[in-house]
Amino acid sequence: MRYFVAVAEELHFGRAAARLHMSQPPLSRAIKQLEAEVGALLFTRSPAGVTLTPAGAVLLDEARALLEQAERVRARVTAAAGAATLDVGILGDSTDRGITRLAAAFRRGHPGVDIRVRNTDLADPTCGLRAGLVDVALTRAPFDQTALTVRELRSDPVGAVLRADDPLARRDRLQIADLGERRWFQFPPGTDPIWQSYWNGGVPREGPVVRVVQECLQAVLWNGTVGLAPLGDDLPAELAVVPLTDMAPSRVVAVWNEGDTNPLIRSFVRIASAAYRH
């Protein structure tokens, strides 16, 4: 069922195999065996990928429910063996509605699990995961993913945060080159260079060092520094956000240590995927 759901969500055997940390041939064989067992084709295959058949669409709903139930059983057994806890890292002080829906859904499914949340600053995109401080993190990519497993939950367009009285704030859209002469914010020394490069538009910049979102916004207000933010974030009236047409989207992701088999993590990620689809 896990193999089937991975292919159904990725709609591509190669991407599903990478997500499952396996090669493609045994995944293809497993799906063919499943199709033989249920007596129906589950996917329509083409060189570009796959699409679900009507039978596959029905099975996807049932498979997700079965896997969720299996994860609840494992989590309840774990809880019965002792106090079950899950340490979750969250980037910044996000009030993302996806997190709100995730928290409610996880409480319903795992009422006996103690969730310990660790809010982290912008200098650590893994939210303490690499340091061993959390079990799973809700954060934004890109960053160094070595020895980590990453599941994308949502993709958000990004805009330039400017003072509302800035002439560029009156534009409908901008490109990174329009901001080339401006000062940008920086993260502290030692910050993941992939993460820093993304938030600097791929080019080395000069500007004040910030650690949290509020410091970034204050740098814009006080110094006219360029800030960046996903579109849709709530900002003070004194600030404006203008879409950047050539900036890659910011991906909301769940991330955990590669090879970690904690059933609570698996359940958390599955519930997160559903919460962020709404």
Residues 75 and 123 in one domain: no
| pLDDT score for 113 | 87
**110 pLDDT tier (thresholds 50, 70, 90):** confident
**Spacing of C-alpha 122 from chain mean position:** 15
Same domain, 240 and 264: no
Query: Percent of the chain, pLDDT > 90?
Result: 49
Contact 190, 124 (CB under 8 A): no
Containing structural domain, residue 30: 1-82
Average pLDDT over residues 80-102: 80
**CA pair distance 144, 147, nearest whole angstrom:** 9
DSSP output for 52-63:
E-HHHHHHHHHH
Question: Where does 14-145 show beta strands of DSSP type E?
Answer: 43-46, 49-52, 85-91, 114-120, 136-141
β-sheet bridge partners, residue 261: none
Q: Within this chain, do residues 94 and 76 fall inside the same structural domain, yes or no?
A: no
Tell me the average pLDDT across 161-168. 93
What integer pLDDT is reported at residue 164 of this predicted model? 93
Q: Are residues 265 and 128 part of one domain?
A: yes
pLDDT, one tens digit per residue, over 5-57 is 989 988 888 888 887 878 888 899 999 999 999 999 999 998 878 999 999 99
What is residue 81's predicted lDDT score, i.e. its pLDDT? 59
- 10 and 74 in a single domain? The answer is yes
- DSSP class of residue 250 equals E
Q: State whether 215 and 96 are in the same domain.
A: no
Write down the mean pLDDT value for the chain: 88
> What integer pLDDT is reported at residue 52 of this predicted model?
94
Summarised one tens digit per residue, pLDDT across range 224-265 is: 888 888 987 778 889 999 999 999 999 999 999 998 888 889
Residue-level pLDDT at 75 = 66
Residue 83 has pLDDT above 60, yes or no: no
Confidence band of 190 (pLDDT split at 50, 70, 90): confident
Q: Are residues 104 and 49 in the same domain?
A: no
Whether residue 20 sits in one domain with residue 95: no
Q: CA-CA distance, 200 to 237, in Å (whole number)?
A: 24
CA-to-CA distance for 148 and 164, rounded, in angstroms? 40
Predicted confidence (pLDDT) at residue 180 exceeds the cutoff of 90: no
Q: What percent of the chain has pLDDT over 70?
A: 95
Give all strands of the β-sheet with 114-120 in edge-to-edge order: 114-120, 85-91, 136-141, 250-257, 148-156
Answer for the pair 244, 175: CB distance below 8 angstroms, yes or no. yes
Residues 106 and 115: beta-carbon distance below 8 Å: yes
What confidence category does residue 177 fall into, taking pLDDT thresholds of 50, 70 and 90? very high
Is there a single domain that holds both residue 242 and residue 164?
A: yes
| Model confidence, pTM | 0.71
Q: How confident is the model at residue 78 (pLDDT cuts 50, 70, 90)?
A: low
Q: Is 121 a residue whose pLDDT tops 70?
A: yes
Residues 39 and 77 in one domain: yes
The confidence score (pLDDT) of residue 56 equals 93
What is the tens place of the pLDDT at every residue in 201-231? 888 888 899 988 888 889 999 988 888 889 8
- Taking residues 177-182, report their average pLDDT: 88
* Confidence (pLDDT) at 93: 58
Whether 243 and 117 map to the same domain: the answer is no
